[in-house]
Amino acid sequence: MADIQEKIAKLCPEAQFDTTGELLLVTVADEKWHDLAKALKEQLGFDYLNALVGVDWKDSLGVMYYLTNTETQDMIHVKVATTDRETPRLHTVSDLWAVANFQEREVYDFFGIEFINHPDMRRFFLRTDWVGYPLRKDYDMDEKLNPIRLNPEPNEDDTYSLVEDADGNLKRIDKKVFGPDEYVINIGPQHPSTHGVLRYRTSIEGELVKKVDVVSGYIHRGIEKLSEGLTYQSGLLYSERMDYMAAHMNRHCLCLCIEKALGIEVPHRAELIRMMMDELMRLSSHLLSYGCLTMDQGATTAFFYPFRERELVYDIFDKNCGARMSMSYDTIGGVTMDVQPDFVDDVRHACDVIEAHIPEYHKLFSKNVIALGRMKGTGVLTREQAINYAVGGPTGRASGFHCDVRKTHPYSLYNEVEFDEITYNNGDSYDRYMLRLKEMEESIKILRQCCDMMEKEEGHEFCAKVPKLIKLPKGHWYQQVEASRGPIGVYLESDGDPKPFQKPYRLHYQSPCFNLIGVVDLTCKDNLIADLITITASLDYVIPDIDR
Amino acid sequence: MKWEDFKDNEYIDQLLAELNASGTNVVVGKFNQLLQWGHANSLWPFSFGTSCCAIEFMCLGAARYDMARFGAEVARNSPRQADYIMCMGTITYRMAPALVRLYEQMAEPKYVIACGACTVSGGPFTKSYCVVKGIDDIIPVDVYMPGCPPRPEAMFYGLMQLQRKIKISKWFGGDARKEKRAKFFEAKAQEEKDAALRAELMKAAQESKEPVLDL
């Protein structure tokens, strides 16, 4: 760490450093930020932007950038802030890390921070006629300002960018998303193959896709703002309702983050149970993904097979957590209740059944001529693009990017079990599809090892002693967990409020699916419009996870 | 579930009483019954899944729960081919115009099932700045299914209640549905008017600074 600090100090003498937190914090003024960012990426190899978190510190508005060097897995974070609350402006980094394009639009939507030189400054989640910036601390919640509007959104084709010339003068350039000659097709928000309520505006030439404009926010529920109004324990519930197909992982991540901040050690048994639930959830999620992908290509029969096996996983959840979905099982310090006595037998049985059926899935679909024709060579994402767009999880690994958080930053007990990180090299739809089926085998491998560990487990404690009223010291923490669609990150900031019911000052979820829609335009370009459905199905995003 | 519990539904009892009170021709009545029986047993859902509940709905369609037993497995993606909207998941302010539009596009007779806590009341997101607090604010609802998400069994219970409702409604003559919708929108307009009037009165009272009489 000290080594990196020295190097950064050499690059940018004005930067301030803080080593008291979990990671090195670099504070830099906005004028120097873009140059430093460029140097960080090109000279120090910080090529992966984990998260870009907008925060309102009351006296200033700003952004936290979490950066990773994918070679050495070093992580740092940079704070850039502005005290101007009327017209807050920062410099964009979307030209360096492509993932920042959508993330900066999110920050603009929530905090009103305009990014200088950003190519497309539009709202992302909220309606174009929305009044105010909801995540600011002084946001007016009055229903009269923003009633339920039933008219279509005005000016949805308008956008602008603030361009800075060599002398530092800003000029606002108004533009349109699509040119007057472009033929635009609307897909969504209610469409069977967008897997929820996502909308694409697609410009086509003949049958080839030229540009995809993603319009999101049809299920934006303001989870981050809602979390600021609840205590740490009660705020846990929202984590499960984002990516409901990775409910255990999301909750696990938030719990780990709070435990890290509190300094609680979780009992071995609890971590083991959590890890098993995570892997079961991954199985269930990949099975669903297989079912949906096949159905989107017309193989309706193949849809029914994975659902038969998913019920086994759901039965385990039902028996041990008390619900089929939205389990509310993980809690701060462990899990809410111990597993049933026959848990291990159930898991072994489910593993056996699912493993026996994986060849059947391959038989049904993997060699099908339509499947091969539509998935081989379509929607190619290279390794460099995957890193630049910060796409992790199965999609990143299908492009040959080693990004499994279970391997790179092991949490829970993942360093005690043996499993392989599956990677493919072509990065097309077919690789993403095959990778999920292969990854299920790895999950089964992990689950079997966990079952052995569970049988030898001597501890009976399933939850550590946690104070009833949780008070975190002033500070911020970031935690990553490998969810079923990629790494989910939780940014938690506490202001050290001494009042009895402390609430998080800022809670941000860096959801994997948010990054996945960033590559839709890239992967669909110059493909057939019919293949847009296949490509997006193979990316396998969950819309409520994007919108939060 | 016991038959008595299943039948314990005041709303449907009331509808039934109304139906019995109005009386009808034997031939028309029998033909009516036949049509409603057929309609109730071939309900085609318009799957309007926005979040978690949609996954449970997929489980309904799959082998273990098998919605086909109720004639409701033909999930349509076009509102023009569907009998009822199964509204699953939170409806936000951005989505609200789309939902209303899809509802208007459906052919008569049409029904709405509000599936899951979010559609019933806003659920865990009631305090949010952009979530519709129950879809009955924007469209009339026939069946409410609480739960987050409802279990498949609960979904079937709700579906069967809708079937019961259809079986006792009239196909010919008094088209209760259209009337009901007209009433719904009238009531909403009236409510808005009342609220505006109240606000005006309050404002006037505050401006005049006279003590407001509590009538």
Task: Convert the pLDDT of each residue in B109-133 to its tens digit.
Answer: 888 888 888 888 888 888 888 888 8
Q: Residue range A467-495: average pLDDT?
A: 87
Is A139 inside a domain boundary?
yes
- Between CA A217 and CA A539 the distance in angstroms is 19
Residues A238 and A124 in one domain: no
Residues A246 and A166 in one domain: no
Q: Residue range A38-62: average pLDDT?
A: 87
For tokens 């590559």, the residue is A519
Instruction: Give chain A's mean pLDDT.
Output: 86
Q: Residue range A444-473: average pLDDT?
A: 85
**B6-31, pLDDT tens digit by residue?**
777 777 777 777 777 776 677 777 77
Interface residue A192 vs chain B (CB under 8 A) = yes
Is B53 inside a domain boundary?
yes
User: Which of A151-155, A258-262, B57-61, B112-116 comes out lowest in average pLDDT?
Assistant: A151-155
Is B77 inside a domain boundary?
yes
Residues A247 and A362 in one domain: yes
pLDDT band at B178 (very low <50, low <70, confident <90, very high): low
Residues of A in Cβ contact (< 8 Å) with B124: 226, 237-238, 241
pLDDT score for B180: 63
- Between CA A16 and CA A74 the distance in angstroms is 19
Is B182 inside a domain boundary?
yes
Higher pLDDT, A369 or B175: A369
**A147-172, pLDDT tens digit by residue?**
888 888 887 788 888 888 878 788 88
Is A430 inside a domain boundary?
yes
Taking an 8 Å cut-off on Cβ atoms, the answer to whether B92 and A219 are in contact is yes
User: What residues make up the domain containing B194?
Assistant: 175-210
pLDDT score for B73: 77
Is A395 inside a domain boundary?
yes
Residues B78 and B102 in one domain: yes
Taking an 8 Å cut-off on Cβ atoms, the answer to whether A190 and B102 are in contact is yes
Domain edge (last residue) among A142, A177, A212: A177
Q: What is the CATH number of the domain that holds B97?
A: 3.40.50.12280
Is A434 inside a domain boundary?
yes
Residues of A in Cβ contact (< 8 Å) with B77: 190-192
Is A310 inside a domain boundary?
yes
pLDDT score for A234: 87
How many domains is chain B partitioned into structurally? 2
How many domains is chain A partitioned into structurally? 2
Residues A172 and A241 in one domain: no
Is B88 inside a domain boundary?
yes
Residues B102 and B32 in one domain: yes
Chain A residue nearest residue B51, CA to CA = A544
Residue A149 to chain B, least CA–CA distance (Å): 7
pLDDT score for B173: 55
Res. B136: pLDDT tops 80: yes
DSSP A225-287: HHHTTS-HHHHHHHHHTTSGGGHHHHHHHHHHHHHHHHTPPPPHHHHHHHHHHHHHHHHHHHH
Point out the residue among B96, B130, B148 whose CB comes nearest to the CB of A326: B148
pLDDT score for A117: 87
Res. A83: pLDDT tops 80: yes
**What are the φ/ψ torsions at residue A340 (nearest 5 degrees)?**
-70, 155
Residues B151 and B186 in one domain: no
Is B215 inside a domain boundary?
no
Residues B32 and B127 in one domain: yes
pLDDT band at B212 (very low <50, low <70, confident <90, very high): low
Residues B161 and B206 in one domain: no
Residues B170 and B204 in one domain: no
Residues A277 and A423 in one domain: yes
A241: region left, alpha or beta (phi > 0 left; psi from -120 to 50 alpha): alpha
Taking an 8 Å cut-off on Cβ atoms, the answer to whether B51 and A241 are in contact is yes
pLDDT score for B213: 53
Res. A21: pLDDT tops 80: no
pLDDT band at B181 (very low <50, low <70, confident <90, very high): low
pLDDT score for A120: 86
Point out the residue among A221, A314, A325 whose CB comes nearest to the CB of B92: A221
Work out the widest C-alpha separation in chain B, in whole angstroms: 69
Q: Residue range A306-311: average pLDDT?
A: 88
Residues A164 and A255 in one domain: no
Is A194 inside a domain boundary?
no
Domain edge (last residue) among A177, A199, A233: A177
User: What residues make up the domain containing A485?
Assistant: 223-547
Is A190 inside a domain boundary?
no
